[in-house]
Each structure stands twice: as structure tokens, then as C-alpha cells.
Amino acid sequence: MQDAIEMGFSLPNTENFSAFFENIKSGHQTMLLSLTTVLRRLKGMALYRRRKSDLLEVALFVMEELERHGQLHGYKTMHLKCIQKGLQVTQETVRILLQLLDPEGVAFRRSKRLRRRLYRNPGPNYMWHIDSYDKLKPYGICINAAIDGFSRNIIWIKAYWTNSNPRIIAGYFMEEVEKLGGCPARVRCDVGTENVYLEQMQRFLRYDHVDEFARDCFIYGSSNHNQRIESWWSYLRKQHAQFWMNLFQQLKEENEFSGDLLDKSLVQFFFMNIIQNELNEVADLWNMHRIRRCRNAIAPNGRPLLM
């Protein structure tokens, strides 16, 4: 009985439901139930034909979803979320609402492009991004660099026998602070013991400041969130580091490099200054090149050294 009634709810209108009820009666002569009795049973089982939800209520729900990860959903997924929320609405209505409320997102999905987070930085020296590059570390060459988030100017790039000593990293930082006569408003680094002294110096230098970021002037985060410097590492590899990676790998394949302390010391003795000079050239070349205007970004365009 209950299965038959639930099947009737899949019919599109009340007239069809009445006809469905008559068919049940004609097919089951022993079923002595009137329409009134069936409706009473429906009420007792909390079964009823739901009416369409108010359009404003649906629109408000869709707007709330668009403020969260729901902005990545197409109209079919959004329609399913509406149903799960208890809203009765058609897919076509949800599709039209998405076109009205999020036309940019619809265009992105139509072109099958990812909606990436835009990097925002109010000005030069607002945030320095600091990170270490370990592609040459197996051969004894450890690189550390800092980039200005606004201008993308390379503040320093250093090759040394370690990039894990907090005194070394803090020394790079203080050298640039002394040159500039000031410190950045904020610094972003990866989580690690190599940055603990740098953090203490940054907080000390900003201690007497009264702006909103004076107490939040240092940020620890994962590498994939430190996007400015992580993006620049790909440029460094294409323009410089890959050559040395190939060279040292060849030495390793020819059994000329075993990776022990002696071999690393020899690499450092013969190649460290050469690599540092080349890194300076790469940084100077980058700082003087012109960054083109990007249609999908809000970062400034121009030469990093001049911004």
C-alpha cells in the first residue's frame, strides 16, 4: 500500500494522481478504501505533494553557497544541494539564478578554467616572501631567497653550504634591512627552525609600531601558500638551476660524486662562487625585465626594480 502511494507521488499533477488511485481500486477489488481514507492515510504517514519553494528563499540559499566553495558548483550540483536543503526548485530555475548571481563563475566553468585565488598586496615592502631552494642541496649548494610580494623584486638570493642555520637566514634579513633603512610590514616564511631568529628580529623591529599588522607582522605557512617565491623558483629552475642539476647528476652517474662530506666540500670549493655570481645575474635580469599587464590578476605591471 505504502509503495503504491509513494509511486503516485511521482506523477506530475493531481488529476493523474486521482486516475492512479482509481487504477489501484480497479486492480485490487478487495481494497475497500475511499479517496478520503487514502488522503487521511497520507497525512498520517507525512506524505504530501510538496509545493515549489519561495524563489527568494532559494536565491538567498544560492547566494550563501556562492560565498563558500559552492562558487565552484555547476547548476546541477547546486540544484542537488537545494534538494538536500529541503528546497523544491527545478534545475532550470537554479541555472537561471546562477547566471544572474554569478555570471563570472558560469563563464569560468563554461571555458573549463579553474577559478584561482587572486594575490593581493597593497604596496612595496608590505610583505616579503622568504624561502629556501633545495634542488641543489644534495650536492652541497643551499640557496635562500626573498622576494617582495608587490613588485616581485628579488631582495636577496644567496648560495651557501647551509640554509638551515637560523643565524645565516637572519643575517641575510638584517643585511637588507640595514641597506633599506627599514623593515617590511610583514614577512612570510615556511614553518621551520631556520626562521626563528628572523621572526624574533622582525617582531622586535615592529614592536613600537601602531598599525594593524604591528602584532601580526610575521606569518608561518606551508610552501604552497607562499606563492610569490614558489612561483619564482620555477623561473630559477628554467633559467639557471636545471643546468647545474644536470651537471651534478652526470657526475653522480659517472661515479665522480658519491654524496659524502668530502665530495660536497669539493663542489662547494669549486662551484659556490660561480653559482653565486650566476644567481646574482639571474636576479638582476629578473629585476630589470618588464612584467606585462595580466588580464586575470590585480598585480602591477612594470619593472620589479622600479616598482
Given a cut of 80, whether residue 13 has pLDDT beyond it is no
Q: Are 60 and 201 members of one domain?
A: no
Q: Are 93 and 152 members of one domain?
A: no
Q: Are 143 and 90 members of one domain?
A: no
For residue 181, being part of any structural domain is answered with yes
Q: Are 138 and 211 members of one domain?
A: yes
Report pLDDT digits (tens) over 113-158: 655 566 667 788 888 999 999 999 999 999 999 999 888 899 999 9
Residue 20 pLDDT grade (very low, low, confident, very high; cuts 50, 70, 90): low
| Top-ranked range on mean pLDDT: pick from 76-80, 117-121, 241-245 | 241-245
Q: How many domains does the chain have?
A: 3
For residue 214, being part of any structural domain is answered with yes
Given a cut of 70, whether residue 50 has pLDDT beyond it is no
Residue 76 pLDDT grade (very low, low, confident, very high; cuts 50, 70, 90): confident
The more confidently predicted of residues 219 and 9 is 219
Q: Are 190 and 245 members of one domain?
A: yes
The more confidently predicted of residues 69 and 235 is 235
Given a cut of 60, whether residue 108 has pLDDT beyond it is yes
Cell 635562500, residue located: 144
Given a cut of 70, whether residue 49 has pLDDT beyond it is no
pLDDT attached to residue 142: 96
The more confidently predicted of residues 204 and 44 is 204
For residue 259, being part of any structural domain is answered with yes
pLDDT attached to residue 249: 95
Specify the range with the lowest mean pLDDT, choosing from 11-20, 48-57, 234-243. 11-20
Average pLDDT over all residues of the chain: 83
Q: What are the grid coordinates assigned to 66, written together?
A: 556562492
Q: Are 14 and 39 members of one domain?
A: yes
pLDDT attached to residue 9: 52
Q: Are 239 and 298 members of one domain?
A: yes
For residue 118, being part of any structural domain is answered with no
Q: What share of the chain is helix, strand, coil (3-state, %, to 5)?
A: 55, 10, 35
Q: Are 164 and 273 members of one domain?
A: yes
Q: How far is CA 22 from CA 2, 12, 25, 36, in A?
A: 16, 16, 5, 13
Q: Are 12 and 62 members of one domain?
A: no
Q: What are the grid coordinates assigned to 55, written together?
A: 524563489
Q: Are 239 and 276 members of one domain?
A: yes
The more confidently predicted of residues 9 and 274 is 274
For residue 62, being part of any structural domain is answered with yes
Q: What are the grid coordinates assigned to 277, written together?
A: 655570481
pLDDT attached to residue 289: 83
Overall size of the chain counted in residues: 307
With contact defined as beta carbons under 8 Å apart, do 301 and 291 qualify? yes
Q: Model-level pTM greater than 0.85?
A: no
Q: Are 253 and 192 members of one domain?
A: yes
Q: Are 144 and 241 members of one domain?
A: yes
Domain interval for residue 96: 55-110
Given a cut of 90, whether residue 224 has pLDDT beyond it is no
The more confidently predicted of residues 224 and 196 is 196
pLDDT attached to residue 301: 75
For residue 119, being part of any structural domain is answered with no
pLDDT attached to residue 3: 60
Report pLDDT digits (tens) over 263-289: 999 999 999 999 999 999 899 888 888
For residue 122, being part of any structural domain is answered with no
With contact defined as beta carbons under 8 Å apart, do 166 and 193 qualify? yes
